[in-house]
């Protein structure tokens, strides 16, 4: 790593090493305690340090609080994750990954004693849940399956529509099975072997089975055409819906007959908000959030979320569901009743609740602000003080608005200390249907502390501003969204005198990388560009991305395998206009990114090299689409240093006045 030396109150990329990341807050059954995961960055093997090749890694342990300051509950060199309370609150199940063997299930008594390992499978245990009566622990796992084809040099024979997936690389020959552990006897049963992967599940309140989300076949799965199934303790699963669309969560109703689900209705594309529905015993669905023009779940981007971020809705009683929702640049908790009334429960317009779990008597959550690091709260009281660990003072952004035909748009500018002129960076979020706003972003704080003005906004296509705002870019990437981004940037330059319009850069990741490529191919106003995990060719993306089979149809109403549609897809491809690029460009991509495959970066790099545009291509091994948010710490640090070096080379930073 080549990070420069630290100076007081001026962070470098190495400041990432000082942070501790909370995740997976789990409320106890009585609502009075919280268990959560805290991940720190430490040397991979502290007994064998190698000064010439430092390899920091995340080390995760379970922490507990009963309302006071949290304390460590597990220790050791492995990674402890997925804390799950037994229904009577006397035991905690968790997953421990020690020695690289894959996470195995352990049970630890709260009153004291040693953790007891209860699985010895060759593959990791995931999505652990207790049955409501405490009799069973269920989970998903590949069990003892082995796939040694690569090791043996054997070919892979591919017949499934999807065969690679971001974060997993090669998909297994058969998907993870549902397992059931009898806690008292220790008997482990392979409960259900689905033909198609299970993406979510939840126990029925009578403990006689689970509801799970899957698809009828692999092709429907590739098109996100999912259904809810009822799996009894004994017997075959029965399909409960004719949904034929994306479902992200299922929540059984206390009556045992009905259930809530989070998803999109059949026939709606990728621009449609995720909604909250109540499904009756007859399969009929009623939307519960019809008067709430915002998506269910948190879509506000940040880079300090390492680990699970639970946000499945929770029944508080027979008539009321608690759920999270993104509203403008914030995310809060709301209540939805079975009659369709939505009211705020815990929503702060200047903050983000990134994760939560709840019972009728309590709520555990992660809360953050743009200038406050994520903290764990139990019933409204912070039980961590992680913000105090920041190795630099966090800065608060100022809001900047811009006009659009749909009303006022908004964004923010994060400035360094002082009053001197600073280079202006236009940073573009991914998605495109995500959101910038009030989440803590280490990268933005780092850029500002290094002397840059960071400008970030939510152009049309972003979520949190109503369905019409999202729909505005359906079928027309690179149009009104580009207009909004430039209008916002001009507003920043006009209203924030410290921003130097003679030293500007554009940067972004995923869709933000697409838009960086698009803007540099359509304007020469920027003096530098950084395109991260980007898209440049919509046609090749369709055949190489893990979501390529369905994405352009859902997102743009176009099909890459329909000749009549290919001209429109090519017209929206930055590569068609690459000969116009003059902006020095840093390209950052990960070799195992299957969401925006690395071939996109390779095409953009080849074109810029042939055109003589100053270009640097940084290609990370072993990382996927999530490098900037949860990648290996040393690689995250290197990425940040490459960013700073490129900006310094082409923009320079003037000393800020004290």
Which residues have C-beta within 8 Å of that of residue 272, sequence separation ≥ 6?
Answer: 264, 265, 467, 470
| pLDDT value for 4 | 36
Of the candidates 510, 540, 590, 630, the residue annotated as catalytic is: 510
Average pLDDT over residues 206-231: 97
300 HSE (CA, 13 A, CB side):
31
Query: Is 510 noted as a catalytic residue in this protein?
Result: yes
Sign of the dihedral through C-alpha 277, 326, 84, 359: negative
Per-residue pLDDT at 269 exceeds 90: no
33-43: pLDDT as tens digits? 999 999 999 87
- Using the structure block, give the residue that is written with the tokens 């799950």: 84
* pLDDT tens digits for range 381-414: 999 999 998 988 999 999 999 999 999 999 999 9
Q: Judging by beta carbons within 10 Å of its beta carbon (0-12, 13-18, 19+), is residue 205 exposed, middle or buried? A: middle
Please say whether the beta carbons of 457 and 484 come within 8 A: yes
Catalytic residue among 123, 438, 527, 625: 625
Query: Which tokens sit at 566?
Result: 């290919």
The separation between CA 316 and the C-alpha centre of its own chain, rounded to angstroms, equals: 26
**Whole-number pLDDT of residue 651:** 97
Model confidence pLDDT, tens digit, residues 489-521: 999 999 999 999 999 999 999 999 999 999 999
3-state helix, strand, coil in the chain (%, to 5): 20, 35, 45
Give all domains of the chain, ordered by start, each with its CATH number: 398-537+573-651 (3.40.50.1820)
Residue 582 has pLDDT above 50, yes or no: yes
Which is more confident, 546 or 57?
546
Closest listed residue to residue 63, CA positions, set 39, 44, 86: 39
Six token digits for residue 378: 């139990």
Count of positions (residues) in the chain: 658
Mean pLDDT lowest for which of 6-20, 67-81, 125-139? 6-20
What does residue 207 show for φ and ψ, rounded to 5 degrees?
Answer: 65, 15
Q: What would the mean pLDDT of 588-601 be, rounded to a whole number? A: 98
| C-beta of residue 298 within 8 angstroms of C-beta of residue 461 | no
- Record the tokens describing residue 379, joined without a space: 């019933």
Is 100 a residue whose pLDDT tops 90? no
Query: 336 with 276: CB under 8 angstroms?
Result: yes
Helix ranges, 438-547 (H): 442-449, 467-471, 480-495, 511-522, 538-544
For the stretch 480-496, pLDDT in tens is 999 999 999 999 999 99
Q: What is the mean pLDDT of the chain?
A: 94
Least confident piece of the model among 42-51, 602-611, 629-638: 42-51
- CA distance linking residue 568 with residue 551, whole number of Å: 15
Looking at the chain, the whole-number percentage of residues with pLDDT higher than 70 is 96
pLDDT at 43: 74
**Which value, to the nearest 10 degrees, does the dihedral of the CA atoms of residues 489, 494, 495, 501 take?**
70
* Contacts (Cβ under 8 Å, ≥6 apart) of 167: 624, 625, 626
Nearest to 211 by CA among 222, 234, 227, 188: 227
Per-residue pLDDT, averaged over 25-35, amounts to: 98
Q: Which token pair is 517?
A: 């490529």
In angstroms, how far is CA 163 from the centroid of its own chain? 22
Beta carbons of 141 and 124 less than 8 angstroms apart: yes
Cβ(633)–Cβ(602) under 8 Å? Answer: no
> Do residues 235 and 255 touch, judged by C-beta distance below 8 A?
no
When comparing pLDDT for 2 and 11, which is higher?
Answer: 11
Query: How does residue 48 score in pLDDT terms, banded at 50, 70 and 90?
Result: low
Cβ neighbour number for residue 258 with a 10 Å cutoff: 17
Q: What is the DSSP string of 634-654?
A: HHHHHHHHHHHHHHHHHT--P
Place of tokens 């190495």: 14
137-194, pLDDT tens digit by residue?
999 999 999 999 999 999 999 999 999 999 999 999 999 999 999 999 999 999 999 9
Q: Is the pLDDT of residue 633 over 50?
A: yes
Query: What's residue 46's pLDDT?
Result: 56
Distance CA 460, CA 405 (A): 10
pLDDT band at 53 (very low <50, low <70, confident <90, very high): low
Cα–Cα distances in angstroms (integers) from residue 586 to residues 31, 514, 532, 619, 654, in the given order: 49, 13, 8, 11, 21
Close Cβ partners of 497 (under 8 Å, ≥ 6 residues apart): none
Q: What is the pLDDT of residue 7?
A: 44
Q: Where are the beta strands (DSSP E) in 510-628?
A: 528-532, 585-590, 615-620
Percent of the chain with pLDDT over 90: 91
CB neighbourhood size of 463 (10 A): 26
Q: Write down the pLDDT at residue 40.
A: 94
406-446 residue pLDDT tens: 999 999 999 999 999 999 999 999 999 999 999 999 999 99
Supply the pLDDT for residue 397: 98
- The answer to whether the CB of 484 falls within 8 A of the CB of 402 is yes
Cis peptide before 410 (omega within 30 of 0): no
Residue 1, pLDDT > 80, answer no
In a 10 Å sphere around its CB, with 0-12 CB exposed, 13-18 middle and 19+ buried, how is residue 234 labelled? exposed
Region of 125 (left: φ > 0; alpha: ψ -120 to 50; beta: rest) is: beta
Rounded CA gap, 537 and 514, in Å? 9
Span 557-561, average pLDDT: 96
pLDDT at residue 49, as a whole number? 60
Q: Compute φ and ψ for 636, nearest 5 degrees.
A: -60, -40
173: tokens are 């020959």
pLDDT at residue 652, rounded to an integer:
85
Catalytic residue check, 6: no
- In which band, very low, low, confident or very high, does the pLDDT at 54 lie, cut at 50, 70 and 90? low
Q: Which two tokens stand for residue 314?
A: 């929770």
Please report which confidence band the pLDDT of residue 99 belongs to, taking 50, 70 and 90 as the band edges. low
């Amino acid at each position: 790593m080549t990070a420069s030396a630290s100076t007081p109150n001026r962070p470098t990329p190495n400041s990432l090493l000082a942070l501790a990341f909370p995740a997976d807050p789990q409320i106890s059954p009585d609502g009075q305690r919280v268990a959560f995961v805290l991940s720190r960055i430490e040397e991979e093997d502290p007994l064998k340090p190698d000064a010439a090749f430092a390899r920091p890694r995340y080390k995760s342990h379970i922490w507990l609080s009963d309302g006071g300051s949290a304390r460590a509950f597990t220790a050791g060199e492995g990674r402890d994750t997925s804390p799950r309370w037994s229904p009577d609150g006397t035991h905690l199940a968790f997953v421990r990954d020690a020695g690289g063997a894959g996470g195995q299930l352990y049970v630890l008594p709260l009153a004291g004693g040693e953790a007891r390992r209860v699985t010895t499978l060759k593959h990791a245990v995931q999505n652990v849940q207790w049955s409501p009566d405490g009799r069973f622990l269920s989970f998903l796992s590949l069990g003892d399956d082995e796939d040694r084809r690569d090791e043996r040099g054997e070919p892979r024979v591919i017949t499934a529509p999807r065969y690679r997936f971001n974060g997993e690389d090669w998909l297994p020959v058969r998907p993870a099975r549902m397992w059931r552990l009898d806690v008292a006897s220790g008997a482990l049963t392979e409960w259900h072997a689905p033909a198609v992967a299970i993406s979510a599940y939840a126990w029925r309140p009578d403990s006689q089975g689970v509801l799970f989300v899957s698809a009828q076949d692999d092709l429907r799965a590739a098109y996100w055409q999912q259904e809810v199934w009822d799996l009894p303790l004994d017997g075959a699963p029965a399909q409960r819906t004719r949904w034929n669309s994306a479902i992200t969560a299922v929540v059984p109703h206390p009556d045992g007959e009905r259930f809530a689900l989070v998803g999109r209705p059949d026939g709606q594309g990728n621009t449609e908000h995720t909604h909250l529905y109540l499904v009756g015993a007859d399969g009929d669905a009623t939307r519960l959030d019809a008067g709430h023009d915002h998506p269910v779940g948190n879509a506000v981007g940040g880079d300090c979320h390492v680990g699970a971020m639970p946000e499945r809705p929770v029944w508080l009683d027979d008539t009321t569901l608690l759920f999270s929702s993104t509203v403008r640049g914030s995310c809060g908790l709301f209540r939805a009743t079975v009659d369709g009334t939505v009211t705020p429960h815990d929503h702060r317009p200047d903050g983000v609740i990134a994760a939560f779990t709840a019972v009728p008597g309590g709520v555990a959550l992660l809360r953050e602000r743009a200038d406050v690091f994520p903290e764990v709260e139990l019933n409204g009281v912070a039980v961590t003080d992680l913000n105090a660990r920041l190795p630099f003072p966090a800065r608060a952004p100022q809001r900047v608005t811009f006009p659009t035909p749909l009303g006022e748009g908004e964004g923010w500018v994060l400035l360094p200390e002082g009053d001197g002129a600073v280079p202006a960076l236009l940073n573009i979020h991914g998605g495109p249907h995500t959101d910038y706003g009030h989440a803590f972003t280490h990268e933005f704080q780092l850029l500002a502390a290094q002397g840059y003005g960071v400008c970030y906004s939510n152009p049309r296509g972003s979520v949190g501003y109503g369905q019409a705002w999202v729909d505005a870019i359906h079928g027309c990437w690179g149009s009104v969204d580009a207009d909004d981004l430039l209008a916002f940037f001009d507003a920043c330059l006009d209203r924030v005198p410290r921003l130097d319009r003679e030293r500007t850069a554009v940067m972004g990741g995923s869709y933000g990388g697409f838009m960086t490529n698009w803007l540099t191919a359509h304007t020469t106003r920027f003096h530098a560009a950084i395109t991260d995990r980007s898209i440049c060719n919509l046609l090749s993306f369709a055949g190489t991305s893990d979501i390529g089979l369905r994405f352009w149809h859902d997102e743009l109403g176009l099909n890459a395998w329909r000749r009549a549609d290919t001209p429109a897809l090519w017209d929206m491809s930055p590569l068609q206009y690459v000969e116009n690029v003059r902006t020095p460009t840093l390209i950052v991509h990960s070799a195992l990114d299957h969401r925006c495959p690395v071939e996109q970066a390779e095409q953009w790099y080849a074109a810029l090299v042939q055109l003589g545009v100053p270009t640097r291509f940084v290609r990370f091994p072993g990382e996927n689409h999530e490098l900037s948010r949860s990648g290996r710490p040393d690689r995250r640090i290197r990425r940040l240093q490459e960013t700073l070096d490129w900006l310094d080379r082409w923009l320079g930073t003037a000393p800020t006045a004290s």
